[in-house]
Amino acid sequence: MSIRTVERQLRRTSEQIVNLRTELMLLDEQVAHFSDEAETARIYALVSETPISERTHQRAARHADVISQQRNQLVARLAELEGQQDALLDRITGPLK
């Protein structure tokens, strides 16, 4: 593979990493928000002891779990791209001695 091709792939990968890091920051904020919301609903359900409050808590907890799973998938994808970036950089620089 030519150096230009590797450089092009490296630029594309770097752009994807930047975009995913931005998305990760947003998901981190959402995770914090929905986790707080689920915790508040849990406390309210404990205090009020009504079926409606328990369902509200369960919905909020499920939503927080889904957002957390999305975040985990994003972190895994980011690690994968960073590995690709490292491999591309190794191709450009060659083996270090």
Q: CA gyration radius for the chain?
A: 21
Record the tokens describing residue 55, joined without a space.
């369902």
In a domain, 96, yes or no: no
Choose among 59, 60, 75: nearest CA to 27. 75
The whole-number pLDDT of residue 97 equals 44
In a domain, 61, yes or no: yes
In a domain, 97, yes or no: no
Record the tokens describing residue 32, joined without a space.
């914090």
Number of H helices, E strands in the chain: 2, 0
In a domain, 67, yes or no: yes
In a domain, 84, yes or no: yes
Across residues 35-57, what is the average pLDDT?
A: 95
In a domain, 55, yes or no: yes
- Structural domain tally of the chain? 1
Residue-averaged pLDDT of the chain:
93
In a domain, 76, yes or no: yes
The whole-number pLDDT of residue 24 equals 97
Give pLDDT tens digits for 5-42: 999 999 999 999 999 999 999 999 999 999 999 999 99
Q: Which domain holds residue 81?
A: 3-91
Across residues 84-97, what is the average pLDDT?
A: 82
In a domain, 29, yes or no: yes
